[in-house]
Structure 1
Amino acid sequence: MSVEVHATAVVEKGAVLHDGVRIGPFCHVGAMAELGAGTELISHASVTGNTRLGENCILYPHAVLGCGPQVLGVRETADSRLEIGAGSVFREYATAHTGSPKHGGLTKVGTSCFIMIGAHIAHDCVIGDNVVMANNVSLAGHIEVGDNVWFGGLAAVHQFSRIGRNAFIGGGAIVVEDVIPFGSVVGNHAKLAGLNTVGLKRRGFSKSDLHEIRSAFKAVFEGEGLFKDRLAKAAQNFADKKLAMEMINFILEGGDRPICKPA
């Protein structure tokens, strides 16, 4: 299988195109870019900077990957990098930036992610596998997103936030706090509305799994007493429950943002 490059496309010297790559009309591939086998740029798409795409990625028209961070005074260097996992799709006008060198320089997007029209992934974000970002979702810098997270359209997330795996972010939500694994948040500013039960069922979580997660959720977020006391008690009571402890440990580990709680 050979590489196909349209006559109107620009592929700079130094770019690495693996077997089966297809570059459509009016695309641009920069000198430090590497495109995995079977990856396709449909038309008018750009891959620039120190950017590596895995196998079988697809970039739709006007998607742009690998531009430098939107940080005043930061100069893009070879240490400013972007990595995209295999099978990820970036729809029209979707963007992802490289990382800032002073913070390690890497922005990373996992495998089989689906980034819809106009969505943006900023510098130094770390995105898990199978993440879906609907139209015009915006992630600020230094955000961590776990596997299987779904973002509704027009949601926005504050820099340095963490979003646990299998969470759901409602359309239009403005997220300024960390979102627990399995949680569902809505609103401006977003509040914890419960668990992402529908998403968990779709991903094959059993009834016993859901019961365990729901029990831990109630123990931490409902009932009497201070939140920190309920959390400490839950850590003891669920010490041998893997899914429950995933939620509890996420909270205990903490981050730069507070935990998103129910209204």
Structure 2
Amino acid sequence: MKKFSQLALPYIIWAILMLVLPMGLIAVYSVMDQGNSIVPFAFTLEHYKKFFTDPDFLLILWRSLLIALKTTVICLFLGYPIAYFIARSREKTQNLLILCITIPMWINMLVRTYAWIGLLSEGGLIQRILSLVGLGNTELLYTEGAVLLGMVYNFLPFMILQIQTSLSKMDHSLLEASADLGASPAMAFLKVTLPLSLPGVINGITLVFLPAVSSFFIPKLLGGGQYFLIGNMIENQFITVGEWNFGSAISMIMAIIMMLLMMAVRKAETRNQGGKED
């Protein structure tokens, strides 16, 4: 046990320096305000009050949660059939398909998002294809649809890989047993495959929703600054406006929302496995 503690010490120090300390500073900044000549800083909750009493800020938060939800639902409905097809393929085919999914992830996400600007811009490849069916005048770039497309494109692989991992670990003899008991393929999927794949579904939802709700460069590039999300708002407060205290308060609000969502996901996963939380 002592040797294990010594081995874990560098990781504990790294976590404190890279995670705990920055979050602690943000938490302190969020409840600080400029004081007087005697006390330079004063405790305040005005930054939190400012956020929750301004309808524009609440609208941005709602918009961020909504587009993250849309992204997650689309990734789930697209990712599950793809993951199912990969898991049912031969081992060599599985490795090839997984490689095809992961290769784009080797490229920086910012570069991949920039590529969509050229595809969606006026005179771009997608608009040329749409013009063949009489939809050439459709505005594609700097719209909510463009932002949603960029979100789905960047986060879909996380959903596919998580679900595929769960499906690959499934005991296929259970499907044979269900068939012997007279279950149709559709019934076997609903009663056996789907429940066993839920841990991967839940992990995929977590890995898609959390980064989607706080993303800032995808709406900035594909939304052209016209589609403002909570991540853009935090960036704006820190870099443009210089309101570090208010930006820290917004960051803490988002951190609390994400922690609550992760707790809800953990409870759902525990309930699905039929166990009890530690």
Tell me the TM-score normalised to structure 1 length.
0.20
Tell me the TM-score normalised to structure 2 length.
0.19
Answer 1 or 2: which has greater helix percent. 2
Larger Rg: 2
Instruction: Tell me which of the two structures has the higher relative contact order, counting C-alpha pairs closer than 8 angstroms and 6 or more residues apart.
Output: 2
